[in-house]
Amino acid sequence: MKERCIINDISLFYMAFKLNVVAGPSRSRIEADKATGTVITELQVIAKAASGLSAPATSSTARSEVKGVSTESISVADASTKLGINQIFENDTYIADCTNNSNAAHTNQRMVLTDSLTVNNTGTDDANGVVEQMGVYGAAADKKIIVRFV
Protein backbone atom coordinates (compact mmCIF):
# COMPACT_ATOMS: atom_id res chain seq x y z
CA MET A 1 0.00 0.00 0.00
CA LYS A 2 1.46 3.36 -0.96
CA GLU A 3 2.08 5.98 1.71
CA ARG A 4 1.99 9.67 0.88
CA CYS A 5 2.68 12.86 2.79
CA ILE A 6 -0.59 14.75 3.15
CA ILE A 7 1.11 18.05 3.88
CA ASN A 8 2.93 18.56 0.58
CA ASP A 9 1.40 16.11 -1.88
CA ILE A 10 -1.62 17.98 -3.24
CA SER A 11 -2.62 21.25 -4.79
CA LEU A 12 -4.68 23.64 -2.69
CA PHE A 13 -7.39 23.42 -5.33
CA TYR A 14 -8.03 19.72 -4.74
CA MET A 15 -11.31 19.09 -2.92
CA ALA A 16 -10.43 17.55 0.42
CA PHE A 17 -9.28 18.08 3.98
CA LYS A 18 -5.64 19.20 3.70
CA LEU A 19 -3.66 19.26 6.94
CA ASN A 20 -2.80 22.88 7.69
CA VAL A 21 -1.20 22.91 11.16
CA VAL A 22 0.08 19.84 12.97
CA ALA A 23 -0.63 20.60 16.62
CA GLY A 24 -0.64 17.06 17.98
CA PRO A 25 2.10 14.47 18.22
CA SER A 26 3.81 13.23 15.08
CA ARG A 27 1.40 11.81 12.53
CA SER A 28 -0.10 8.48 13.41
CA ARG A 29 -1.04 6.53 10.29
CA ILE A 30 -3.17 3.50 10.94
CA GLU A 31 -4.72 0.83 8.75
CA ALA A 32 -8.48 0.46 9.02
CA ASP A 33 -10.77 -2.25 7.66
CA LYS A 34 -13.05 -1.38 4.76
CA ALA A 35 -15.42 -3.31 2.52
CA THR A 36 -14.12 -4.52 -0.85
CA GLY A 37 -15.20 -2.12 -3.59
CA THR A 38 -15.46 0.92 -1.31
CA VAL A 39 -14.15 3.89 -3.31
CA ILE A 40 -11.81 6.14 -1.35
CA THR A 41 -10.43 9.53 -2.35
CA GLU A 42 -7.18 10.73 -0.84
CA LEU A 43 -7.70 13.34 1.92
CA GLN A 44 -11.38 12.61 2.54
CA VAL A 45 -12.90 12.21 6.00
CA ILE A 46 -13.30 8.56 6.94
CA ALA A 47 -15.89 7.39 9.46
CA LYS A 48 -17.06 4.21 11.11
CA ALA A 49 -20.00 2.89 9.07
CA ALA A 50 -23.00 1.02 10.50
CA SER A 51 -21.27 -2.23 9.47
CA GLY A 52 -18.35 -1.34 11.74
CA LEU A 53 -16.06 -0.95 8.72
CA SER A 54 -14.50 2.30 7.53
CA ALA A 55 -16.21 4.32 4.80
CA PRO A 56 -16.34 7.91 3.53
CA ALA A 57 -18.15 10.21 5.96
CA THR A 58 -21.62 11.51 5.06
CA SER A 59 -23.73 14.52 5.96
CA SER A 60 -25.11 12.57 8.93
CA THR A 61 -21.71 11.52 10.34
CA ALA A 62 -21.28 12.46 14.00
CA ARG A 63 -17.88 13.59 15.33
CA SER A 64 -17.64 10.41 17.45
CA GLU A 65 -17.75 8.33 14.25
CA VAL A 66 -14.85 10.12 12.52
CA LYS A 67 -11.74 7.93 12.33
CA GLY A 68 -9.40 10.22 10.39
CA VAL A 69 -8.42 11.47 6.95
CA SER A 70 -7.55 9.04 4.16
CA THR A 71 -3.95 8.88 2.96
CA GLU A 72 -4.65 7.26 -0.41
CA SER A 73 -7.14 6.84 -3.21
CA ILE A 74 -8.67 3.41 -3.82
CA SER A 75 -10.72 2.57 -6.91
CA VAL A 76 -13.84 0.41 -7.03
CA ALA A 77 -11.83 -2.29 -8.83
CA ASP A 78 -9.30 -2.54 -5.99
CA ALA A 79 -10.03 -5.64 -3.90
CA SER A 80 -8.19 -4.25 -0.87
CA THR A 81 -9.95 -4.52 2.47
CA LYS A 82 -7.50 -2.12 4.19
CA LEU A 83 -7.33 1.66 4.12
CA GLY A 84 -4.60 3.98 5.35
CA ILE A 85 -5.78 6.93 7.43
CA ASN A 86 -4.12 9.64 9.48
CA GLN A 87 -5.63 10.02 12.89
CA ILE A 88 -6.93 13.43 13.94
CA PHE A 89 -5.44 15.10 16.98
CA GLU A 90 -6.85 17.92 19.08
CA ASN A 91 -5.99 21.35 17.67
CA ASP A 92 -4.77 20.05 14.28
CA THR A 93 -6.24 22.38 11.67
CA TYR A 94 -7.22 21.56 8.10
CA ILE A 95 -7.94 23.59 5.00
CA ALA A 96 -11.32 22.30 3.91
CA ASP A 97 -13.63 22.97 1.01
CA CYS A 98 -17.04 24.35 1.95
CA THR A 99 -20.43 24.43 0.29
CA ASN A 100 -20.93 28.21 0.37
CA ASN A 101 -18.51 31.12 0.01
CA SER A 102 -16.26 31.38 3.04
CA ASN A 103 -17.17 34.02 5.59
CA ALA A 104 -14.98 35.29 8.45
CA ALA A 105 -18.17 35.98 10.45
CA HIS A 106 -18.62 32.18 10.73
CA THR A 107 -15.41 31.78 12.72
CA ASN A 108 -15.96 29.65 15.86
CA GLN A 109 -19.17 28.15 14.46
CA ARG A 110 -19.54 24.37 14.57
CA MET A 111 -20.44 22.83 11.22
CA VAL A 112 -21.57 19.45 9.89
CA LEU A 113 -20.20 17.82 6.75
CA THR A 114 -21.90 18.08 3.37
CA ASP A 115 -20.06 14.87 2.47
CA SER A 116 -16.62 13.37 3.12
CA LEU A 117 -14.88 16.12 1.13
CA THR A 118 -16.85 19.26 2.02
CA VAL A 119 -18.02 21.22 5.08
CA ASN A 120 -21.57 22.60 5.14
CA ASN A 121 -21.05 26.23 6.18
CA THR A 122 -24.56 27.59 6.59
CA GLY A 123 -23.69 30.53 8.83
CA THR A 124 -25.46 28.96 11.81
CA ASP A 125 -23.70 27.29 14.74
CA ASP A 126 -24.75 23.62 14.76
CA ALA A 127 -24.68 21.72 18.07
CA ASN A 128 -24.06 18.52 16.06
CA GLY A 129 -21.02 20.02 14.34
CA VAL A 130 -18.14 17.80 13.33
CA VAL A 131 -15.73 20.69 12.73
CA GLU A 132 -15.34 24.25 13.99
CA GLN A 133 -14.31 27.05 11.64
CA MET A 134 -11.10 28.68 12.80
CA GLY A 135 -10.78 31.11 9.90
CA VAL A 136 -11.08 31.54 6.15
CA TYR A 137 -8.54 30.62 3.49
CA GLY A 138 -8.15 32.65 0.31
CA ALA A 139 -10.91 34.66 -1.31
CA ALA A 140 -14.54 34.05 -0.29
CA ALA A 141 -15.33 32.60 -3.72
CA ASP A 142 -12.54 30.00 -3.27
CA LYS A 143 -14.90 28.31 -0.77
CA LYS A 144 -12.11 27.21 1.60
CA ILE A 145 -12.03 27.50 5.37
CA ILE A 146 -9.65 26.51 8.13
CA VAL A 147 -11.26 24.04 10.52
CA ARG A 148 -10.47 21.80 13.45
CA PHE A 149 -12.40 18.69 14.41
CA VAL A 150 -14.42 19.19 17.59
In a domain, 60, yes or no: yes
In a domain, 32, yes or no: yes
State residue 4's pLDDT score: 37
Per-residue pLDDT band for 8 (boundaries 50, 70, 90) equals very low
In a domain, 101, yes or no: no
Residue 22 predicted with pLDDT over 90: no
State residue 25's pLDDT score: 59
Strands (E), the chain: 17-21, 29-33, 45-48, 54-56, 66-70, 82-86, 93-98, 110-115, 118-120, 131-136, 144-149
In a domain, 49, yes or no: yes
